[in-house]
């Protein structure tokens, strides 16, 4: 149980285009989802916290207009990287949390490469 | 802000040995700690967790120890196997209530390599 999926698993795009990444909780309802970014050989850095039906809360230094987060249902959150640039190339990972349970369940990640 | 850190960035062990991965945390308000395993190109996988009202918790081949006095967390892996080779992260939950509830802060990670 507690499976989280991400789509796509990898994506290559041209500089200036937008990319949408989906995060789904497959067998549970996630009241809260989190988006992380991980650069090679580094740790996970939290980008934003997304609660179903409300605006996402972004961490300091993360541009909310560049990284658009939508959490329209209890099983789906999306991250859109707008006007992507090569420096946005990274491994994006989402996690989901059930209300009242501390454990976060992580997705498999999405590798974004911006040319 | 406060952060979680690790003492050893790399650890190499022989198959069958016991492994100990350490983590220091600085946020005294943290009440929940988790160890994750991350294999190359994959998302973190939950290993074991512990709450601040405990000092030890055991799972299958893994034990987590929490020393709140010195703000230290460790993960012990018994009879380490090649399949245990991965990056291990500790993470802390910054406490209930307010906007920090549920947020995790990750340590820098330790690369564990198990030699057959």
The reply to whether residue B44 touches residue A42, judged by beta carbons under 8 angstroms, is: no
> How high is the pLDDT of residue B97?
47
| Chain B residues whose beta carbon lies within 8 Å of the beta carbon of residue A106 | 36, 43-46
Distance CA A3, CA B8 (A): 31
Nearest chain B Cα distance for residue A82, angstroms: 23
pLDDT at residue B100 is higher than 70: no
The reply to whether residue A106 touches residue B36, judged by beta carbons under 8 angstroms, is: yes
For B77, left (φ over 0), alpha (ψ -120 to 50), or beta? Answer: beta
What is the sign, positive or negative, of the torsion defined by CA atoms of A54, A59, A63, A67?
Answer: negative
In tens, the pLDDT along B21-54 reads 999 987 888 889 999 999 999 999 999 999 999 9
Contact A27, A96 (CB under 8 A): no
Summary mean pLDDT of chain B: 88
The reply to whether residue B104 touches residue A104, judged by beta carbons under 8 angstroms, is: yes
Q: Scanning every residue of chain B, which has its alpha carbon at the shortest distance from the alpha carbon of A57?
A: B99
Query: Per DSSP, what are the bridge partners of residue B110?
Result: B88
Helices (H) and strands (E) in chain A, counts: 0, 11
Helices (H) and strands (E) in chain B, counts: 0, 11
By three-state DSSP, how is residue B98 classified?
helix
| Chain A residues whose beta carbon lies within 8 Å of the beta carbon of residue B43 | 4, 6, 93, 95, 106-109
Per residue of chain A (115 residues), give pLDDT as tens.
689 999 999 999 999 999 999 999 998 898 899 999 999 888 999 999 998 888 899 999 999 999 999 988 899 999 999 999 999 999 999 999 887 777 889 999 999 999 9
> How high is the pLDDT of residue A48?
94
Other C-beta atoms lying within 10 Å of the C-beta of residue A20:
14
Q: In whole angstroms, how large is the CA radius of gyration of chain B?
A: 14
What percent of chain B stands above pLDDT 90? 74
Per-residue buried b or exposed e for B84-114, using 16+ beta carbons within 10 Å of the residue's own CB:
bbbbbbbbbbbbeeeebebbbbbbbbbebeb
User: Which of B34, B49, B103 is closest, CB to CB, to A49?
Assistant: B103
| Chain A residues whose beta carbon lies within 8 Å of the beta carbon of residue B105 | 46
The reply to whether residue A34 touches residue B44, judged by beta carbons under 8 angstroms, is: no
Most confident of B2-6, B76-80, B105-109: B76-80
The reply to whether residue A102 touches residue B32, judged by beta carbons under 8 angstroms, is: yes
Least confident of B5-14, B22-31, B103-112: B5-14
Contact A2, A97 (CB under 8 A): no
Q: Scanning every residue of chain A, which has its alpha carbon at the shortest distance from the alpha carbon of B88?
A: A43
Other C-beta atoms lying within 10 Å of the C-beta of residue A29:
12
B81-86: average pLDDT: 96
Q: Which of B64, B75, B70 is nearest to B24 (CA)?
A: B70
> How high is the pLDDT of residue B2?
38
What percent of chain B stands above pLDDT 70? 87
CA B34 → CA B28, B84, B88, B97, B114, distances in Å? 15, 17, 10, 19, 22
> How high is the pLDDT of residue B59?
95
Q: Scanning every residue of chain A, which has its alpha carbon at the shortest distance from the alpha carbon of B38?
A: A108
Cis peptide bond prior to B85, omega within 30° of 0: no
């Amino acid at each position: 149980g507690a499976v989280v999926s991400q789509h796509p698993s990898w994506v290559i795009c041209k500089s200036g285009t937008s990319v949408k990444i989906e995060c789904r909780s497959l067998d549970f309802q996630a009241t809260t989802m989190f988006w992380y970014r991980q650069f090679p050989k580094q740790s996970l850095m939290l980008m934003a916290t997304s609660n179903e039906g409300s605006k996402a809360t972004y961490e300091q230094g993360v541009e909310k207009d560049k990284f658009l987060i939508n959490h329209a249902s209890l099983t789906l959150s999306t991250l859109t990287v707008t006007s992507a640039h090569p420096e946005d190339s990274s491994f994006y990972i989402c996690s989901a949390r059930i209300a009242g349970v501390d454990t976060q369940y992580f997705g498999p990640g999405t590798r974004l490469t911006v040319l | 802000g406060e952060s979680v850190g690790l003492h050893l960035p790399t650890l190499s062990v022989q198959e069958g040995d016991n492994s100990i991965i350490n983590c220091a945390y600085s946020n005294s308000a943290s009440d929940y700690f988790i160890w994750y395993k991350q294999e190359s190109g994959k998302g973190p996988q939950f290993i074991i967790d512990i709450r601040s009202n405990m000092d030890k918790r055991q799972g299958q081949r893994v034990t987590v120890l929490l020393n709140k006095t010195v703000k230290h967390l460790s993960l012990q892996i018994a009879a380490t196997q090649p399949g245990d080779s991965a990056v291990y992260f500790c993470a802390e939950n910054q406490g209930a209530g307010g906007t920090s509830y549920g947020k995790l802060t990750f340590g820098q990670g330790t690369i564990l390599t198990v030699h057959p």
